[in-house]
Amino acid sequence: MSQTCTLAIDAMGGDHGPAVTVPAALAALRRNSALELVLVGDESALNAALEGVAGHERERLQVRPASQVIGMDEPPAQALRYKKDSSMRVAIDMVRDAAADACVSAGNTGALMATARYVLKTLPGIDRPAICTTIPCRGGRFRMLDLGANVDCTAEHLFQFAIMGAVLVEASGDSRQPRVGLLNLGEEAIKGNDQVKQAAQLLQDSDLHYVGYVEGDSMFRNVADLVVCDGFVGNVALKSSEGVAAMISRYVREEFERNALTRLAGLIALPVLRALRRRLDHRRYNGASLLGLRGVVVKSHGSADVIAFEQAIEKGILEAREGIPARIDARLGQLFAQDAPA
């Protein structure tokens, strides 16, 4: 990292709060010498967690007090209204005030989206922010959005998602000309609902590298760098994938633990099973981007452990350094310029 980058961390968010966010923050500081972090939350709890931490990491770490915490199941509207001094809200305020280049939270997704949208506002030309994450697939990875911020989407919304997601893929270095696919229930042009069919037309007419419809199974065969869908479908697709992966992992464990003989086989196969576990480790992909806002906001899984939360911080660093919101804004500006009457 060439220039200094400051991230605000919602240190109280998620299932584990400072027990995860503080060690993850310290690990991120060790890994990134030009990083500065602000831990937002309960001052005494955070200072206690930082006791004994010294040296170069401690110098680049501040604590910013916030007296409230938003519950994981708290209604977003209530959080927005009554939790103005929550760790999440203060972290987002810091992004708005340019006191931080990005914020990272493992808190309540709905509250994070509502607060970020209210405090930071959306970029001009973006009707709705969307949640985008990285998903492993055969021989690579792809990004998918929206994952639950928008249950009903028009074709224009889907098109905006495609633009925002494409900017993110390009900036991450995964592809200079991302293959953009629309999630559908078949690859034939006649399939799908009206929104998807119209979005296909918009993408076809755009300068994005649109590769057509992709299906729930084909997306895991590396057919697109970006998969676009509405938030209902995206949420169900992502969670179904996680559910199946968890079930299979459990089956593998159960079969190897069945009796003395299978346990012995498991012992012999341990290096293979470890390699497999590493390969399927979803923690490596933790950190979803809230795209379309005038600032960088990264959402970590609520149950993230230290390794996973550190990944979310890394995503925040990347997006801040690459100036994702400004890049999306520029891309939209080009589009509007093209569309404007001569």
CB of 56 vs its own copies, minimal distance in Å: 39
Q: Which stretch binds its own copies (CB under 8 A): 17-25, 157-165, 229-237, 289-297?
A: 229-237
Strand-pair partners of 293: 122
Q: Would you count residue 82 as binding its own copies (CB under 8 A)?
A: no
Q: Which stretch binds its own copies (CB under 8 A): 28-36, 50-58, 80-88, 133-141?
A: 133-141
Burial of 120 (0-12, 13-18, 19+ CB in 10 A): buried
Q: Would you count residue 218 as binding its own copies (CB under 8 A)?
A: yes
Query: Interface mask (CB under 8 A) for its own copies, residues 4-43, using x and -?
Result: ----------------------------------------
Determine which residue in the list 235, 286, 300, 311 makes contact with its own copies, applying CB under 8 A: 235
Strand-pair partners of 86: 68
- Which CB, 56 or 221, lies closer to its own copies? 221
Q: Residue 15: CB partners within 8 Å, gap ≥ 6?
A: 72, 106, 302, 303
- Which CB, 186 or 333, lies closer to its own copies? 186
- Which CB, 53 or 137, lies closer to its own copies? 137
Q: Please, are residues 258 and 265 in contact by the beta-carbon 8 Å criterion?
A: no
Burial of 338 (0-12, 13-18, 19+ CB in 10 A): exposed
Q: Please, are residues 51 and 136 in contact by the beta-carbon 8 Å criterion?
A: no
- C-alpha 332/C-alpha 328 separation (Å) is 6
Phi, psi dihedrals of residue 61, rounded to the nearest 5°: -125, 125
| Residue ranges that bind its own copies, judged by CB under 8 A | 73, 75, 136-138, 148, 151-152, 183, 185-186, 188, 190-193, 215-221, 229, 231-233, 235-248, 250-252, 255-256, 258, 261-262, 264-266, 268-269, 271-272, 275-276, 279-280
